[in-house]
């Protein structure tokens, strides 16, 4: 820390020498000298001073005039002033000094102990304030450096993230273009395939309606196989389009009633009289309506379609668990083998259905999984061979 500075003002050089020597011998300060009030003013305009000791009786400008000028200037009005004066100074004389803001008087001849004691008393809080200021500046400087370093790291991280975000946006835009092209291509292929298939189905239906009885038994069986596979291919094309649509269509969540969806699905699929669909009352959920409809329709239809029991039973219920709603669809069918369970969500994978007359496209559960995940959930399956299959999916609250 820099030394504190005391300005001593006296028109007698010998007094300045004596005062400077006394102060330097007793205090760790820097002493600045001025032989007149005008010189003192010049020094105060140019330099920083912590304490002023001045003689009252000086030619040209006495101590009172100098004190008045010091107190008028913003830069110097706070500097403590001690006046040196004759012992016979009157009370009125002192009052004038105090009115000008003089902190103290010391009478001549100067008592060294008194002067040094008074100077020390005034300088001590100034030194403490200076030390605190230095410490504060150091802390501010250290903190500023730390903040600057963190700010640099933050700016670097922001820059990296912005760059990553830009690349991600570009990739998403490119993916969107590719998805659009793929969707357009899928619809084109579907159209090109379904057009000749429509002709095939039409001719087969015409033969089966008008001349099937005239054909040999083998020929009739061949036409049945052709018709069955043609219709299966049409369904496969439709399911492929549904899968492509489920992967890219926008999700529009709203408050929906799963119970109403089940009623609509039951009316739509028209289950046989031997099928029992048992649905518990379920709470409202925030979900994409079309997605919920497709998911439940597929799971319910599968439970009926691939059921080997005389009286198929489909149960549907919901429960709240771990901050989510879990919706489950179970059936009392033949179950799914361990070999198939790990592959049932793969596109075009169809579990063995030798015990049923139904043939799947291997796309339905892939569509279901895509729709569940796009709505922020997961899907899983529990099964026991010959007894049941239960699909469950989570719905975020």
Q: Residues 158-179: pLDDT tens digits? A: 999 998 988 888 887 876 776 6
CA distance 22 to 183: 98
pLDDT at position 131, please?
86
Q: Which of 65-74, 235-244, 263-272 has the lowest mean pLDDT?
A: 235-244
pLDDT band at residue 192 under the 50/70/90 scheme? low
This prediction's pTM = 0.49
pLDDT at 357 over 50: no
Higher per-residue pLDDT: 296 or 229:
296
Higher per-residue pLDDT: 182 or 230:
230
pLDDT at 43 over 60: yes
**Token reading at 230:** 């043609």
Give the DSSP per-residue string, 270-326.
---TT-EEEE-----EEEEHHHHHHHHHHHHHHHHHT--SSS-EEEEEEEEETTEEE
For the chain, give every domain's residue range: 4-110, 145-248, 251-396
Query: Which string of b and e fits 96-129 if b means at least 16 CB within 10 Å?
Result: ebeebbbbbbeeeebeeeebbebbeebbeeebee
pLDDT at 320 over 70: yes
pLDDT at position 355, please?
46
pLDDT at position 1, please?
67
CA distance 216 to 393: 51
Distances from the Cα of 154 to the Cα of 143, 148, 251, angstroms:
16, 10, 34
Residue recorded with tokens 């596979």: 229
pLDDT at 351 over 70: no
CATH for the stretch 4-110: 3.40.50.2300
Average pLDDT over residues 192-200: 71
pLDDT at position 183, please?
64
pLDDT at position 388, please?
94
CATH for the stretch 251-396: 3.30.565.10
pLDDT at position 87, please?
56
DSSP state of 78: T
Average pLDDT over residues 309-321: 95
Cβ proximity of 218 and 192 under 8 Å: no
CA distance 12 to 16: 7
pLDDT at 300 over 90: yes
Q: Where is mean pLDDT largest: 11-20, 101-110, 202-211, 217-226? A: 11-20
Q: CA torsion angle for 201, 202, 205, 210 (degrees, to 10)?
A: -150
Cβ proximity of 29 and 123 under 8 Å: yes
pLDDT at position 354, please?
44
Q: Residue 387, class by beta-carbon neighbours within 10 Å (0-12 exposed, 13-18 middle, 19+ buried)?
A: exposed
pLDDT at position 25, please?
94
pLDDT at position 113, please?
93
Average pLDDT over residues 17-44: 94
Average pLDDT, the chain: 85
Q: Where is mean pLDDT largest: 126-130, 204-208, 349-353? A: 126-130
Cβ proximity of 39 and 55 under 8 Å: no
pLDDT at position 179, please?
64
pLDDT at 23 over 90: yes
pLDDT at 190 over 70: no
pLDDT at 88 over 70: no
Tens digits of per-residue pLDDT, 255-272?
999 999 999 999 988 889
pLDDT at position 184, please?
66
Average pLDDT over residues 379-394: 94
Q: At what angle do helices 364-374 and 289-305 cross, to 10 degrees?
A: 150
**Token reading at 213:** 């009885």
Q: Do domains 4-110 and 251-396 have the same CATH topology?
A: no
Cβ proximity of 337 and 385 under 8 Å: yes
Percentage, residues of the chain above pLDDT 70 = 87
């Amino acid at each position: 820390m820099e030394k504190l500075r005391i300005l001593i003002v006296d028109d007698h050089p010998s007094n300045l020498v004596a005062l400077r020597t006394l102060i330097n011998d007793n205090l760790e300060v820097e002493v600045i000298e001025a032989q007149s009030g005008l010189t003192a003013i010049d020094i105060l305009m140019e330099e920083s001073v912590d304490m002023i000791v001045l003689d009252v009786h000086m030619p040209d400008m006495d101590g009172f005039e100098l004190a008045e000028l010091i107190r008028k200037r913003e830069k110097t009005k706070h500097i403590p002033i001690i006046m040196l004066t004759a012992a016979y100074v009157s009370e009125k004389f002192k009052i004038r000094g105090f009115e000008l803001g003089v902190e103290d008087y010391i009478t001549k001849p100067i008592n060294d102990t008194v002067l040094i004691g008074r100077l020390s008393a005034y300088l001590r809080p100034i030194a403490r304030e200076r030390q605190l200021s230095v410490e504060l500046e150091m802390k501010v400087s250290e903190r500023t450096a730390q903040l600057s370093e963190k700010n640099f790291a933050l700016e670097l991280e922001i820059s990296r993230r912005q760059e990553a975000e830009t690349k991600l946006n570009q990739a998403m835009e490119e993916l969107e273009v590719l998805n659009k092209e793929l969707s357009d291509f899928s619809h084109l292929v579907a159209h090109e395939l379904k057009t000749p298939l429509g002709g095939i189905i039409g001719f087969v239906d015409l033969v089966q309606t008008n001349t099937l009885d005239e054909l040999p038994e083998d020929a009739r069986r061949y036409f049945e196989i052709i018709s069955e596979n043609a219709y299966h291919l049409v369904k496969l094309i439709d399911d492929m389009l549904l899968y492509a649509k489920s992967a890219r269509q926008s999700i529009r969540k709203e408050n929906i009633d799963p119970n109403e969806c089940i009623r609509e699905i039951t009316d739509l699929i028209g289950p046989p009289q031997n099928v029992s669909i048992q649905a518990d009352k379920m709470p409202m959920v925030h979900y994409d309506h079309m997605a919920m409809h497709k998911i439940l329709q597929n799971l319910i239809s599968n439970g009926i379609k691939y059921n080997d029991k005389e009286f198929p039973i489909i149960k549907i219920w919901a429960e709240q668990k771990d901050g989510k709603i879990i919706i489950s669809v179970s059936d009392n069918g033949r179950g799914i083998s361990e070999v198939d369970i790990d592959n049932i969500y793969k596109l075009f994978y169809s579990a063995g259905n030798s015990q049923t007359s139904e043939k799947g496209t291997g796309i339905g559960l892939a569509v279901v999984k895509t729709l569940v995940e796009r709505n922020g959930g997961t899907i899983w399956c529990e099964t026991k061979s010959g007894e049941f299959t239960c699909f469950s999916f989570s719905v975020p609250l």
